[in-house]
């Protein structure tokens, strides 16, 4: 905690102005991130990637609502393809009561048995 007292000259008179540099309302989202980490390697099945993204998105959205956070999902993601395995990196914006934090969510999608898909969160940063 740092408290500073400044004096400023206003219209020929000296006025005391106190500035407080106290960490007000800083909020940690570590508990929320731990809950996301607990979902890692939990399989989400679907007929295509879009259906799996919808399931993961709704699960994250409901978890965020439990914490009182708003989540902003990206329109695009970084993607890598290795055969039938797709790697996506999503940058989520978590809006708390006092600030906005970023979380990077790594998700892997795997095609198996002719057009069936499984997706799973592999890392939360």
Label the pairing between strands 2-10 and 100-112: unpaired
- 64, 32 in Cβ contact below 8 A? yes
Tell me the β-bridge partners of 72. Answer: 93
73-108 tens-digit pLDDT: 999 999 999 999 999 999 999 999 999 999 999 999
Domains defined for the chain, CATH in brackets: 29-124 (3.10.450)
Q: Give the H or E element holding residue 38.
A: helix 30-38
| pLDDT exceeds 90 at position 19 | no
The CA distance from 104 to 115, in Å, is: 27
Q: How many residues does the chain have?
A: 125
| pLDDT exceeds 70 at position 11 | no
């Amino acid at each position: 905690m740092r408290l500073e007292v400044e004096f400023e000259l206003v219209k020929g008179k000296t006025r005391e102005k106190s500035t407080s540099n106290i960490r007000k309302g800083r909020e940690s989202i570590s508990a929320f991130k731990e809950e996301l980490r607990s979902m890692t390697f939990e399989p989400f099945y679907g007929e295509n990637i879009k259906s799996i993204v919808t399931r993961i998105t709704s699960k994250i959205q409901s978890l965020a609502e439990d914490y009182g956070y708003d989540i902003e999902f990206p329109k695009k993601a970084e993607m890598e393809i290795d055969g039938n395995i797709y790697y996506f990196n999503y940058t989520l914006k978590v809006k708390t009561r006092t600030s906005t934090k970023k979380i990077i969510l790594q998700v892997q999608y795997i095609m198996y048995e002719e057009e069936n898909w499984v997706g799973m969160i592999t890392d939360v940063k």
